[in-house]
Structure 1
């Protein structure tokens, strides 16, 4: 075969192939012979039908298989001779047969990015101790008390800091309803009925809670708040918004005593000591998870800051859409409306695009580390991992594997495992510096 590869931008290349007539004839003869041996044609014994009959009867199928075989051989030869890292060979096209019987065709290849690995052993990462203090257990215990608290109506006094208020409210900017003034959805800031909030400076907007102090159920008030500079809707930052509110109910929190009866009620053991021990173990496991996530994020940031290279456009488009879908899903789960999402569409896709680029770059870097370090995922490891997934979903492992095969998801799972092994390798060889800072929470 005469093979040429013309590399192009964005990790693509055009593969051009010319197959000599004798190689074409030899491959066609093998295909026709296979059809002749298996075909059942009326008037002929099995395997005895003349070649012309076979070619006339199965001409389209023979041509299709010939093209497929020639393309497959060309791809294999190109991989060997050109030392290409091909992600996708594309669909061969422009098949044509010359007068001497040779065949030419071409295909658009998607290549893995070409780059040099940075130093990946001894990367410095910062991480706090995973030890859990008594104060952290106390804070968690207090959160449990709040989750199982009772609420009673307050009578005979006005609202105070720490109370719970139930309010109806609407908002305006320069006398115009907020969404109308801004020209886009602003979520819960536009107004709500029966809205619960704790009267403290951490609730709602800065300066709002203090204006509720002294109000009684049934009271109405016009409160003015200044939108902070980090508010999601940029058009409102620094603006004074008027909140017209009615205090519907005023409630106080009645926290349960932490005793053995409380422990039994929440299923945390039999005694307060057992509950504290359980909380300590849960907090330690969660803290270790956050520390590990933080280390991974630092490694990703390190690699992406040192290495830059082109990415395959098709992969980038697909990953960007996937990230955008995830952002929309999380937005819906957090209470965003369709209007909210529509108004932030450009921001969503911009964020998704940046995350997609980071994800793909990191993936390629870790795959290359795995290649250099001879890291691999065995079939046994792959099957075991898939079986665990099936078990967690309470599905039959064999049926689950077949479903994944039909959907073409097995290679992706293997790649995820390979990337996981590569990041573990980098972390094992990292230099860890202890810090007093708490690990940052990561979004899923």
Structure 2
């Protein structure tokens, strides 16, 4: 095998590889013979299909597969011998036809940047710390009760927190909603699910009350013809219901799988769940802080454009809810660059310092993931059988190990926050 390398810019490489055509022909011949021994074709006894028939029917397919595998294996051999580290899969160009007893192909790709030794000792990283307090458990239990509250019809006037069902119509200049009759609408007074001005008008009214009001609808109101306009609205109260929280009795606790130990056991379970969520949130914030500082310290690092493009397209796809749509990826290029830079730097730290994935941490992480499902053993089995899922989990665990390593070497200051501050998005 003959290999030549051409530099195309700082990170681009063009690899030209020449392979003896005999290697391909030997592989094709062996596969044709093997297929002849195993193929079952109408009109031929098993194992007695003539080679010529196999070549006629499957020759192109066999040759294509053999060529693809030969290119793949020889490419890996070539980049290993040349000490190249491709950033992505190469773009291959070849006729696939022998010329002077050789098959030639070119592989175009970008390589990982040469970073040099990474020193993290000067990074100033903020490590946020927190703990789960009894008040946090009380708050979560109250939230769980609210999620399971029932609504009971009442005769008293509506007040904040009540659920009110009402018939509604509104006229704004030449637009009427609905076109005829009324629409039946429900809301919890004070939730601003509709908007405050409308919900405030429901206060103090009882079932069968009818009244009219002039309202200024907000610009983001869900009914386009009323959004940002003034309208004359009519109301009729159909039903008023007040919330009733479930008691913290055995029936309530059993819905969370607590059949023994009562409220004390329930509080222990809630604490365990909150502590698991807190641990994950703190780790995520530490990682974000460390990676941010690491990227800023290597702001001039040249990165493979292909990786940035790919990451930007993935971010664009995620922004569209994962749909296969032609979403412009250019607005995501800056974010993609930082994500790629962070990934490359973390991987390089692992490589330079021989940090290997800790399979015990992988198992612990998988157990934590599985514990959030009703049938955790099925989740474990799914990961065990899906190489891509397991590889992704191992990569995340390895990154966490690198973050821990950075935190040991860098200048770390602690900043204490409450549980609710940690768990609040954007805090």
Question: What TM-score do you get using the length of structure 1 for normalisation?
Answer: 0.64
Q: 1:95 to 1:123 in 2, by over 3 A?
A: farther
Task: Report the 3-state secondary structure (helix = DSSP H, G, I; strand = E; otherwise coil) of the residue aligned with 1:83.
Answer: coil
Corresponding residue number in structure 2 for 1:312: 306
Task: Report the 3-state secondary structure (helix = DSSP H, G, I; strand = E; otherwise coil) of the residue aligned with 2:314.
Answer: helix
Is the 8 Å Cα contact of residues 169 and 243 (structure 1) preserved in structure 2? no
| 2:79 equivalent to 1:84 | no
**CA distance in 2 between partners of 1:168 and 1:301 (Å):** 53
Is the 8 Å Cα contact of residues 130 and 422 (structure 2) preserved in structure 1? no
Corresponding residue number in structure 1 for 2:398: 418
Deviations 1:354-412 (A, max 9, x none): 76555444333322222122122378987998899898352795x9756x36xx66655
Is the 8 Å Cα contact of residues 208 and 223 (structure 1) preserved in structure 2? no
Task: Report the 3-state secondary structure (helix = DSSP H, G, I; strand = E; otherwise coil) of the residue aligned with 2:205.
Answer: coil
**CA distance in 2 between partners of 1:379 and 1:140 (Å):** 33
Corresponding residue number in structure 2 for 1:151: 151
Corresponding residue number in structure 1 for 2:44: none
Corresponding residue number in structure 2 for 1:297: 288
Corresponding residue number in structure 1 for 2:162: 163
| 2:415 equivalent to 1:434 | yes
Corresponding residue number in structure 2 for 1:333: none
**CA distance in 2 between partners of 1:40 and 1:258 (Å):** 73
Q: 1:129 to 1:64 in 2, by over 3 A?
A: closer
Number of matched residues? Answer: 389
**What's the RMSD between the two structures over aligned residues?**
5.2
Is the 8 Å Cα contact of residues 149 and 253 (structure 1) preserved in structure 2? yes
Match of 1:217 among 181, 199, 207: 207
Q: CA deviation at 1:260?
A: 7.0
Is the 8 Å Cα contact of residues 149 and 245 (structure 2) preserved in structure 1? yes
Is the 8 Å Cα contact of residues 118 and 349 (structure 2) preserved in structure 1? no
Corresponding residue number in structure 1 for 2:347: 367
Corresponding residue number in structure 2 for 1:288: 279
| 2:243 equivalent to 1:253 | yes
Corresponding residue number in structure 2 for 1:187: none
Task: Report the 3-state secondary structure (helix = DSSP H, G, I; strand = E; otherwise coil) of the residue aligned with 2:92.
Answer: coil
**CA distance in 2 between partners of 1:91 and 1:147 (Å):** 56
Is the 8 Å Cα contact of residues 14 and 107 (structure 2) preserved in structure 1? yes
**CA distance in 2 between partners of 1:379 and 1:282 (Å):** 23
**CA distance in 2 between partners of 1:74 and 1:434 (Å):** 50
Q: 1:125 to 1:311 in 2, by over 3 A?
A: farther
| 2:318 equivalent to 1:323 | yes
Structure 2: unaligned runs, 5 residues or longer: 38-54
| 2:349 equivalent to 1:394 | no
**CA distance in 2 between partners of 1:97 and 1:32 (Å):** 14
Q: CA deviation at 1:323?
A: 1.9
**CA distance in 1 between partners of 2:16 and 2:4 (Å):** 6
Q: CA deviation at 1:214?
A: 2.1
Task: Report the 3-state secondary structure (helix = DSSP H, G, I; strand = E; otherwise coil) of the residue aligned with 2:139.
Answer: helix
Task: Report the 3-state secondary structure (helix = DSSP H, G, I; strand = E; otherwise coil) of the residue aligned with 2:242.
Answer: strand
Structure 1: unaligned runs, 5 residues or longer: 42-54, 180-190, 330-341
Task: Report the 3-state secondary structure (helix = DSSP H, G, I; strand = E; otherwise coil) of the residue aligned with 1:88.
Answer: coil
Is the 8 Å Cα contact of residues 158 and 214 (structure 1) preserved in structure 2? yes
Is the 8 Å Cα contact of residues 32 and 59 (structure 2) preserved in structure 1? no
Q: CA deviation at 1:250?
A: 0.9
**CA distance in 1 between partners of 2:120 and 2:183 (Å):** 52
**CA distance in 2 between partners of 1:70 and 1:146 (Å):** 62
**CA distance in 2 between partners of 1:280 and 1:387 (Å):** 18
